[in-house]
Amino acid sequence: MSGATPPPIQGLCPPQFQAARDQFERHLADGEDLGAGFAIAINGRLVIDLTGGWADRRQERAFGPDTLVSIFSTTKAVSALMMARLVGQRRLDYRQTVASIWPAFAAAGKQDITVEMVLSHQAGLSGFLEPMEPVEWFDHAAICARLAAMAPLWPPGTASGYHPLTFGFIADEIHRRIDGRSLGTALREDLTQPLGLDLWIGLPASEHHRVADMQRPTTFPAFGTVTPALKAAFLTRWSTIGGKRLDGWLNHEFPAAGGQATAAALARLMAAMACDGAIGDVPVLARGTAMQAGSERIAGRDLVLPFDVSWGAGFLRNPPNMFYGPEQFTLAHSGWGGSCAFADPVRGLSGAYVMNRQSTALVGDIRPRRLIDAVYAAL
């Protein structure tokens, strides 16, 4: 560790939101964050865009506006938006069966599983109980073949059970079969490059030097009672992607957990969910699609996550936990260790938090909750 004086906080924060900036600074000063970014957009325009701290464990590289961060399952909000885009284009219907798009998926009693059941984690495919090598996650075709042949771990449609990695493979395969492109490629070509959003699912080697080091937690999340659904999702040797170096992870498209982003890019993208499909003056989703994506598909105790949840079509709905501010209609997703992105359609407000010091939180990390609460207190 260098012992150098921490770099100053950079970015946009008007006096109205001084309390949020003060809270952001406290996280860095107290060591809760190593480096972080926090951004808020109203009607698609950034009103807060803060970065600060260190991008590396040795504390030699400042965490700045161009620092990319691994956002883990916050990526699911991005993928859910891409699926909503297909729905708005009338190329996909949430209520149609997955097998109508991907016939092999009908095997082992899955013929009635719909797209919205998959996106709301009701498909019974939270992971694999049969042994495999962690490196196999890098083989899209092999994982999809496993999923197509697999029998559900619980009766589909009766409960949600969070699908940490398989969510992305199913969504991506649906996207490929409808659009002809992978979800990450379509994201880049249709949205992030034209809109200038520093957000990637599949990061080119030319950008790897901008990625922050991730400081992992020393303990595992407290899941509670171990069930087959939980074991398949998180508790086998092969439930985590492995077997390749970090650059392999960065290059590969993992639409459930492999996103690399700045907070500003996430906040602006989520404006499409907060502003009835528009990012500023640019229409991204057909009108009404965001509301359709956010309507509740299932609520109650999740079979994998250790709390009650309410799921839209790939988005966490704010009730009952209210992790993302005070509005009932806010849609969001969080990533392992603390990152999150959210959209409040009541106020046209969207935001994101990214960081490189992970906590044990899967959802509802206290750091973004403090920042979000400070923003709402100032409105």
Domains of the chain, earliest start first: 10-378 (3.40.710.10)
CA distance 377 to 373: 6
Tell me which residue of 147, 159, 297 sits closest to 230, measured CA to CA.
159
Residue 50 has pLDDT above 50, yes or no: yes
Instruction: Give the burial string for 133-167 (b: 16+ CB within 10 Å, else e).
Output: eeeebbebeebbebbbebebbbebbebbbbbbbbb
Q: Give the pTM.
A: 0.97
For residue 4, what pLDDT band results from cuts at 50, 70 and 90?
A: low
Q: Residue 368: is the preceding peptide bond cis (ω within 30°)?
A: no
pLDDT tens readout for residues 91-140? 999 999 999 999 999 999 999 999 999 999 999 999 999 999 999 999 99
Sign (positive or negative) of CA dihedral 352, 358, 363, 366: negative
Q: Count the alpha carbons within 13 Å of 352 in the hemisphere toward its beta carbon.
A: 33
192 Cβ contact list (under 8 Å, min separation 6) = 198, 199, 200, 265, 269
CA distance 99 to 108: 12
At residue 3, the pLDDT reads 55
At residue 105, the pLDDT reads 98
For residue 245, what pLDDT band results from cuts at 50, 70 and 90?
A: confident
pLDDT tens readout for residues 295-311? 999 999 999 999 999 99
CA distance 222 to 212: 26
Query: Residue 180 CB: number of other CB atoms within 10 A?
Result: 9
Tokens of 322: 């209210």
Say if CB 243 and CB 139 are below 8 A apart: no
CA distance 70 to 97: 32
In sequence order, the β-bridge partners of residue 334 are 340
Residue 221 has pLDDT above 90, yes or no: no
At residue 1, the pLDDT reads 47
Q: Which stretch of 64-73, 213-222, 316-325 has the lowest confidence by average pLDDT?
A: 213-222
CA distance 68 to 355: 9
pLDDT tens readout for residues 136-163? 999 999 999 999 999 999 999 999 999 9
CA distance 99 to 174: 10
